[in-house]
């Protein structure tokens, strides 16, 4: 090398030329010409001009001594491109070299531009998100202003023409109502909305009664059922346990009530259907008469409980109803726990959709819906599905051709709510429950709700080592075993039923349940209200305790993944927010949730108005036991680290993500890329990407990640992985195609950063150091002066270094954590437990899937088996 060829002469050859870093030019020896390499047609040299018509520079021979910095450029000027083959080759080489450099530059610029485009795209997305947040908040402000104006007292309107006030007690049946209630049920007075709803029911109105858990909804249809001169009331109920309970209680009062479920033999079903056709069939001449057994002495039942699947699938049952209808023996249809139409009817219990047929086939039979948790949207869905009038009117001014609505306050002052932190180790979790029961409710009747069958069994196993007598109850138990457990519980032979909420929730009515414990979060606030509502139905003070832990959120997400993106997530997050709130009265939190959507403004407010209840954990909480922790910088680091890991397709569950951002496992994590031995591995330098690790303790860090998830900085993605089919799942799969792929896959939820996270992640650690963060995140955390036990030391967290020029922030105390030093060191060394974590989730999903599969297939508990295996 040493010189290059000028493609074009400089316009001013005398002009100074910028020096280059190349070696000083030397006058080259002319190399021998290689003819083989000689090009046949060198570039034309015409009149000293180049192609562009510009004059070529003359050849200048430099004196050797004249080796100054300009030499090279001079050489460049004098050496034409075609002078020799080797020179041309070198020129080509050099041009190629330049092109390569430029192409490299181009590629680099392309990468940079693409990265800018990506950033612009994500900033645009972030902008849109923030703008949408802004308009949500602004709409909320507007809505509150409007509500405030609307709630100003206005002149009461005169009732519309033709309106009926069902709250009066001057109906022809009024005195008989009270007498029968006293005689049969022993109740002295009606509870709110009971009498009015019964009046409307007896007047033949289509109606919907929304009363609190334990509010006495059953009486609303049971009393009119026994007052009917003839015929049967058909109650459509979602759960066998609920039907068992109702039928058991009715029979105990001498009321003729039956149910049809999986344990009802075909013989029994046939006999019952004949009884339902009753004397009319006996007297008649048609087919019904032929079926009637002369020896059958039992009178027709006043109430028959069935599942929606029975109505949907059993032709014999439907044809019996048709005969009853023709004979005037169908008194009323009752849809108990009617919110299930909307909450289950679209996915798991599609037979609920078949209830639409009732109005079409039996138009003159009134329908009564009862529920404790039906927001306006659910009511609308319910009415539409049942083909009832979508126009509603209130019970005190009911209009013809409308669905009449009754509601009474959902707040139950005798229930004392509290949320307690759940320990991380399984044994410690159950021990906390044992301690609570032994200290507060020794010998009392209660329920413990768990997420999965495996959880139930673990809890019962450990309870058996204590003084608490407990039994397990879940969908896979044999029906006899279920009945035995319920019976023993009713007779106080056992204190506690440990149940999955899907199997032992709705409608369980034992008056003296003194406590309901949630071993894990409920799937929604409305589930929590329903499940905890099993307590204190006799009106006496009872406790509702929930043990909350961030990692449970991900467990639940995987259990509800099918409905996660169609409302499940929002419901779960609402539940999480309630648990994380350490300040607001639980009654007010429930009220906000229900009133936001409840059709009646009285949902919670009526009793005590908007005043705090003064007896929940938040009302009684000592302000010195919690504090507001500024988690902005922890959140920044966590999101930067997770974002970097995400770029390597990391697969991180919430606990794994917490470990990673806390710097455990030396920044290593599993990735989606499959290596020869399974998953691939990735790693991230937490100091480089985030300026350091998150210095919160494990629990607080997990709580922070959960908060970032709920606030939308993180998102969960679901991944299915195959696992072997258990015999039960295989059986289910073979029984119905409705047991979807859930039966053969486990689902894991991984955390990823969302576009919203770029509020944090787009700023480099240096900029954060220099300028601080724009976003501030505060989180309430519990603090306690007490140690955890023997060997426990109190230790203050090292807060991430605050930025020098950070904007002034609310002053917060440095959080103190109680963590055993040794434990901490062990964690550091051991790093991750990927397999264990996922194994746990696999188990969860397997359990829940079996439970859900029964529901999904329309085979709610054993009834479903009956539907599919013993077709009528
Ligand atoms: N008027 C009344 N006076 C006293 N007790 C009543 C009255 N009405 C109902 N009860 C009692 O209240 C308890 C709850 O009633 P019921 O099972 O009908 O509640 P529910 O509204 O169906 O509740 P859930 O929605 O939680 O199933 C029962 O033990 C019942 O006997």
The answer to whether residue 148 is domain-embedded is no
Compute, in angstroms, the gap from residue 507 CA to the centroid of ligand 1. 10
The reply to whether ligand 1 has any atom less than 6 angstroms from the CB of 372 is yes
The 8-class DSSP code of residue 392 comes to E
Examine the domain organization and report whether 389 and 464 are in the same domain: no
Compute, in angstroms, the gap from residue 169 CA to the centroid of ligand 1. 21
The reply to whether ligand 1 has any atom less than 6 angstroms from the CB of 197 is no
Q: What are phi and psi of 518, to 5 degrees?
A: -100, 115
Examine the domain organization and report whether 303 and 421 are in the same domain: no
List CB contacts of 378: < 8 A, sequence separation 6 or more. 339, 342, 343, 371, 597
For ligand 1, mutation pick of 198, 219, 415 (most atoms within 8 Å of CB): 219
Examine the domain organization and report whether 433 and 400 are in the same domain: no
CATH of the domain at 227: 3.40.50.300
Domain count, the chain: 3
Compute, in angstroms, the gap from residue 415 CA to the centroid of ligand 1. 15
Q: Give the span between the Cα atoms of 119 and 648, in whole angstroms.
A: 18
Instruction: Calculate the CA 2 to chain-centre distance.
Output: 70
Q: In which band, very low, low, confident or very high, does the pLDDT at 727 lie, cut at 50, 70 and 90? A: low
The reply to whether ligand 1 has any atom less than 6 angstroms from the CB of 536 is no
Which atom number of ligand 1 is nearest to the Cα of residue 220?
A: 18
The reply to whether ligand 1 has any atom less than 6 angstroms from the CB of 710 is no
The reply to whether ligand 1 has any atom less than 6 angstroms from the CB of 357 is no
What pLDDT, in 10s, does the model give residues 402-460? 999 998 888 899 999 999 999 989 999 999 999 999 999 999 999 999 999 999 999 99
* Per-chain mean pLDDT for the chain: 76
Helix axes 569-580, 550-559, angle to 10 degrees: 160
What pLDDT, in 10s, does the model give residues 350-382? 888 889 999 999 999 999 999 988 777 788 889
The reply to whether ligand 1 has any atom less than 6 angstroms from the CB of 338 is no
496-510, 561-575, 691-705: segment of lowest average pLDDT: 496-510
Predicted pLDDT of residue 147: 61
The reply to whether ligand 1 has any atom less than 6 angstroms from the CB of 505 is no
Which atom number of ligand 1 is nearest to the Cα of residue 211?
A: 21
Instruction: Give me Rg for the CA atoms of the chain.
Output: 38
Strand 745-753 relative to strand 714-722, pairing = antiparallel
Predicted pLDDT of residue 134: 84
What pLDDT, in 10s, does the model give residues 804-815? 333 333 333 323
Give the closest residue (by CA) to ligand 1 atom 10: 216
226 touches 255 (CB < 8 A): yes
Give the closest residue (by CA) to ligand 1 atom 27: 507
24-28, 386-390, 511-515, 639-643: segment of lowest average pLDDT: 24-28
743 touches 621 (CB < 8 A): no
Predicted pLDDT of residue 123: 81
Examine the domain organization and report whether 423 and 393 are in the same domain: no
Mean pLDDT in residue range 259-267: 86
What pLDDT, in 10s, does the model give residues 213-230? 888 999 999 999 999 999
Chosen domain end from 540, 563, 586: 563
Residues 688, 690, 696, 700: what is their CA dihedral angle, to the nearest 10 degrees?
-140
What pLDDT, in 10s, does the model give residues 54-71? 444 333 333 444 444 443
Predicted pLDDT of residue 814: 28
Structure token digits, residue 608: 């005590």
Compute, in angstroms, the gap from residue 681 CA to the centroid of ligand 1. 57
The answer to whether residue 213 is domain-embedded is yes
The reply to whether ligand 1 has any atom less than 6 angstroms from the CB of 191 is yes
Give the closest residue (by CA) to ligand 1 atom 14: 214
Q: Give the span between the Cα atoms of 117 and 120, in whole angstroms.
A: 5
Give the closest residue (by CA) to ligand 1 atom 3: 187
Predicted pLDDT of residue 653: 93
Give the closest residue (by CA) to ligand 1 atom 25: 213
CATH of the domain at 722: 1.10.10.10
Examine the domain organization and report whether 371 and 492 are in the same domain: no
297-301, 672-676, 770-774: segment of lowest average pLDDT: 672-676
Which atom number of ligand 1 is nearest to the Cα of residue 188?
A: 3
Is residue 153 scored above 80 in pLDDT?
no
Q: What is the pTM of this model?
A: 0.70
Q: Give the span between the Cα atoms of 858 and 349, in whole angstroms.
A: 5
Q: Give the span between the Cα atoms of 536 and 511, in whole angstroms.
A: 6
Which residue, chain included where needed, has tokens 């139930």? Answer: 456
The reply to whether ligand 1 has any atom less than 6 angstroms from the CB of 187 is yes
Mean pLDDT in residue range 304-332: 93
Q: In which band, very low, low, confident or very high, does the pLDDT at 268 lie, cut at 50, 70 and 90? A: very high
In order of 167, 430, 789, the CA distances from 469 in angstroms are: 45, 14, 27
Compute, in angstroms, the gap from residue 541 CA to the centroid of ligand 1. 16
Predicted pLDDT of residue 728: 53
Among 38, 56, 35, 36, which Cα is nearest to 47's?
56
What pLDDT, in 10s, does the model give residues 587-606? 989 888 876 444 443 444 44
Structure token digits, residue 845: 């999903």
Examine the domain organization and report whether 473 and 338 are in the same domain: no
Examine the domain organization and report whether 227 and 346 are in the same domain: yes
To the nearest whole percent, how much of the chain has pLDDT over 90? 44
Strand 816-818 relative to strand 794-796, pairing = antiparallel
DSSP string, 433-476: HHHHHHHH-TT-EEEEEESSHHHHHHHHHHHTTSS--EEEE-TT
Predicted pLDDT of residue 451: 92
725 touches 630 (CB < 8 A): no
Q: What are phi and psi of 236, to 5 degrees?
A: -100, 120
The answer to whether residue 493 is domain-embedded is yes
Examine the domain organization and report whether 474 and 504 are in the same domain: yes
Among 272, 303, 274, 306, which Cα is nearest to 291's?
274
What pLDDT, in 10s, does the model give residues 479-491? 788 889 988 998 9
List CB contacts of 263: < 8 A, sequence separation 6 or more. 479, 480, 862
Predicted pLDDT of residue 297: 58
Examine the domain organization and report whether 266 and 396 are in the same domain: yes
Predicted pLDDT of residue 207: 94
Mean pLDDT in residue range 779-799: 51
The answer to whether residue 341 is domain-embedded is yes
Chosen domain end from 563, 579, 599: 563
Examine the domain organization and report whether 648 and 748 are in the same domain: yes
For 754-774, the three-class secondary structure string (H helix, E strand, C coil) is CHHHHHHHCCCHHHHHHHCCC
3-state secondary structure of 829: helix
Give the closest residue (by CA) to ligand 1 atom 13: 214
What pLDDT, in 10s, does the model give residues 833-852? 233 333 444 444 444 444 44
Compute, in angstroms, the gap from residue 587 CA to the centroid of ligand 1. 21
Q: What ranges in 297-352 are assigned the alpha helix state H?
A: 308-313, 315-326, 339-343
The answer to whether residue 652 is domain-embedded is yes
Which atom number of ligand 1 is nearest to the Cα of residue 371?
A: 25
Q: What are phi and psi of 327, to 5 degrees?
A: -95, 5
Examine the domain organization and report whether 267 and 177 are in the same domain: yes
Compute, in angstroms, the gap from residue 463 CA to the centroid of ligand 1. 30
The answer to whether residue 16 is domain-embedded is no
Which atom number of ligand 1 is nearest to the Cα of residue 372?
A: 25
Range of the domain at 557: 415-563
716 touches 646 (CB < 8 A): no
Give the DSSP H or E segment for 125.
helix 85-150
Examine the domain organization and report whether 539 and 461 are in the same domain: yes
């Amino acid at each position: 090398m040493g010189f290059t060829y000028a493609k074009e002469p400089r316009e001013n050859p005398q002009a100074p030329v910028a020096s280059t870093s190349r070696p000083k030019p030397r006058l080259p020896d002319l190399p021998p010409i290689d003819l083989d390499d000689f090009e046949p047609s060198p570039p034309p040299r015409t009149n000293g001009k180049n192609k562009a018509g510009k004059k070529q520079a003359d050849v200048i021979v430099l004196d050797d001594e004249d080796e100054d910095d300009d030499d090279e450029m001079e050489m460049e000027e004098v050496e034409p491109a075609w002078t020799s083959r080797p020179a041309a080759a070198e020129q080509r080489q050099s041009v190629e070299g330049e092109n390569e450099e430029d192409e490299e530059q181009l590629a680099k610029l392309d990468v940079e531009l693409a990265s800018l485009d990506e950033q612009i795209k994500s900033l645009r997305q972030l902008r849109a998100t923030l703008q949408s947040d802004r308009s949500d908040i602004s709409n909320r402000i507007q809505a509150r202003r409007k509500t405030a104006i609307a709630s100003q007292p206005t002149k009461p309107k005169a009732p519309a023409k033709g309106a009926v006030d069902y709250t009066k007690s001057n109906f022809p049946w009024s005195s008989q109502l009270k007498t029968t209630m006293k005689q049969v049920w022993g109740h002295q007075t009606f509870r709110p909305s009971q009498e009015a709803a019964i009046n409307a029911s007896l007047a033949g109105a289509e109606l919907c009664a929304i009363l609190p858990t334990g509010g006495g909804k059953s009486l609303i249809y049971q009393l009119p059922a026994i007052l009917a001169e003839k015929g049967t009331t058909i109650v459509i109920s979602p759960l066998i346990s609920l039907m068992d309970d109702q039928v058991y209680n009715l029979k105990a009062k001498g009321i003729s009530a039956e149910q049809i479920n999986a344990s009802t033999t075909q013989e029994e079903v046939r006999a019952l259907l004949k009884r339902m056709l009753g004397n009319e069939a006996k007297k008649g001449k048609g087919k019904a008469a032929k079926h009637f057994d002369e020896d059958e002495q039992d009178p027709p039942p006043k109430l028959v409980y069935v599942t929606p699947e029975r109505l949907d699938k059993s032709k014999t049952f439907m044809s019996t109803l048709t005969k009853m209808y023709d004979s005037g023996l169908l008194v009323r249809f009752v849809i108990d726990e009617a919110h299930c139409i909307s909450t289950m009817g679209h996915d798991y219990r599609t037979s609920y959709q078949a209830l639409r047929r009732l109005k079409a086939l039996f138009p003159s039979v009134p329908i009564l819906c009862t529920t404790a948790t039906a927001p306006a949207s659910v009511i609308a869905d319910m009415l539409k599905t049942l083909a009832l009038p979508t126009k509603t009117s209130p019970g005190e001014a009911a209009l013809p051709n409308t669905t009449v609505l009754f509601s009474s306050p959902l707040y139950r002052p005798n229930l004392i709510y509290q949320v307690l932190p759940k320990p991380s180790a399984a044994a410690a979790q159950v021990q906390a429950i044992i301690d609570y029961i032994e200290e507060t409710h020794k010998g009392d009747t209660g329920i413990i709700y768990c997420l999965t069958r495996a959880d139930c069994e673990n809890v019962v196993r450990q309870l058996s080592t204590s003084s608490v007598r407990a039994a397990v109850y879940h969908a896979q138990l044999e029906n006899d075993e279920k009945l035995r457990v319920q019976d023993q519980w009713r007779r106080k032979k056992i204190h506690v039923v440990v149940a999955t909420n899907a199997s032992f929730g709705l409608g369980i009515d034992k008056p003296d349940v003194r406590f309901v414990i949630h071993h894990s979060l409920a799937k929604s606030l409305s589930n929590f209200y329903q499940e905890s509502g099993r307590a204190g139905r006799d009106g006496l003070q009872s406790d509702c305790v929930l043990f909350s832990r961030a990692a449970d959120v991900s467990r639940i997400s995987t259990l509800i993944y099918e409905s996660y993106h169609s409302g499940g997530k929002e419901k779960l997050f609402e539940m999480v927010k309630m648990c994380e709130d350490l300040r607001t009265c639980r009654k007010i939190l429930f009220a906000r949730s229900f009133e936001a959507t409840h059709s009646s403004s009285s949902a919670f407010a009526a009793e005590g108005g908007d005043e705090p209840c003064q007896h929940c954990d938040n009302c009684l909480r000592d302000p010195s036991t919690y504090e507001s922790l500024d988690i902005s910088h922890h959140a920044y680091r966590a999101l930067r680290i997770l974002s970097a890991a995400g770029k390597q397709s990391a697969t991180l569950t919430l606990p794994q993500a917490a470990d990673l951002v806390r710097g455990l496992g030396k920044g290593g994590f599993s990735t989606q890329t499959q290596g020869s031995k399974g998953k691939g591995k990735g790693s991230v330098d937490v100091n480089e990407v985030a300026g350091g690790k998150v210095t919160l303790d494990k629990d607080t860090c997990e709580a922070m990640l959960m908060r970032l998830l709920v606030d939308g900085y993180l998102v969960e993605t679901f991944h299915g992985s195959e696992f072997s089919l258990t015999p039960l799942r295989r059986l289910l799969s073979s029984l119905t195609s409705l047991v979807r792929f859930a039966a053969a896959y486990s689902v894991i939820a991984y955390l990823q950063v969302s576009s919203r996270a770029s509020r944090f992640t787009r700023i480099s650690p240096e900029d954060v150091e220099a300028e601080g963060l724009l976003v501030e995140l505060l989180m309430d955390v519990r603090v306690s002066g007490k140690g955890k036990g023997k060997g426990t030391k109190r230790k203050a967290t090292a807060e991430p270094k605050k930025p020098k020029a950070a904007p002034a922030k609310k002053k917060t105390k440095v959080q103190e954590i109680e963590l055993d030093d040794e434990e901490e060191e062990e964690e550091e060394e051991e790093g991750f437990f990927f397999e264990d974590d996922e194994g746990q989730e696999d188990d969860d999903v397997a359990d829940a899937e079996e439970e859900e599969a029964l529901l999904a297939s329309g085979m709610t508990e054993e009834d479903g088996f009956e539907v599919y295996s013993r077709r009528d």
